[in-house]
Amino acid sequence: MKLRPLQIMVGVPEAPRSVQASGSDPALSECAFCGQRAGLRAMRLNGDLACVLCGLVQSLHPPTIDAEIRLIWLPEMSQAALNVLVRQIHIELRALGNSVNCDDVPKYGAEMRRILYTAQQLLLQRGETVPERLGSSQPSDLADALTVLASRHANVQGLPLGGLRIFAAGRFFIDGADVYDEVVDSWREQPALENFSGPAPVTAEVT
């Protein structure tokens, strides 16, 4: 499967945040951007099916976006590869009965909980340089800036954002309700993809 490019975008405000299953179930289909099972609450983005993690990257417009994602600087890993990694961390945390919200400290009882929590925190630490690079660490501020640029230029999809990446914080809101746990549960219940080698890593040097 050839993956679609995954770029940080504001998205279309009136676009729905999830698609209903009809015919073949979107939840069992592959995300066009990371190649993993789309799961519940998958989105249609310009005709392509996106899982929640890849959908968040391309739709920064919702008012809940500051609670749903963090901005980090991780040029050595592509956004798609990061999404696959975060997905697996959240699946494992959920399987251990822990919250996947990155602001929650898990109750330690198994060494794996500590390892998974530490992995999340190490990724979040990569957001410490974002304010000096962008002037703000708030995703909503980035969305506002991209909206202004879009109003002045016909196409901002190719805007070079360097090593800026979207880190899913473990929350996803539909009509005011956080449904991210059910999304992760749908990933856990689905069979693993066969012959999946993962998204290609970043090959360009970014400073």
- Kindly report, residue by residue over 30-88, the tens digit of the pLDDT: 999 999 999 999 999 888 999 999 999 999 999 999 999 999 999 999 999 999 999 99
What is the number of structural domains in the chain? Answer: 1
Please report the pLDDT score of residue 14 as a whole number.
Answer: 72
The model's confidence at residue 192, banded by pLDDT at 50, 70 and 90, is low
- Kindly report, residue by residue over 151-172, the tens digit of the pLDDT: 776 555 555 578 999 999 999 9
Instruction: Give the number of other Cβ atoms within 10 Å of residue 205's Cβ.
Output: 7
Please report the pLDDT score of residue 157 as a whole number.
Answer: 54
Arithmetic mean of pLDDT, 133-147: 93
Q: Please give the single-letter amino acid code of residue 194.
A: E
| 119 assigned to some structural domain | yes
DSSP label at residue 20: -
Closest C-alpha to 168, from 56, 16, 37? 56
| 44 assigned to some structural domain | yes
Structural domain containing residue 51: 26-189
Q: Which residue has the tokens 């059910």?
A: 182
Please report the pLDDT score of residue 190 as a whole number.
Answer: 74
| 93 assigned to some structural domain | yes
Beta strands in 24-151, from DSSP E residues, in sequence order: 43-45, 48-50, 69-73
Scored b (16 or more CB within 10 A) or e, 164-193 reads: bbbbbbbbbbbeeeebbbebbebbeeeeee
| 206 assigned to some structural domain | no
| 197 assigned to some structural domain | no
| 138 assigned to some structural domain | yes
Q: Please give the single-letter amino acid code of residue 65.
A: I
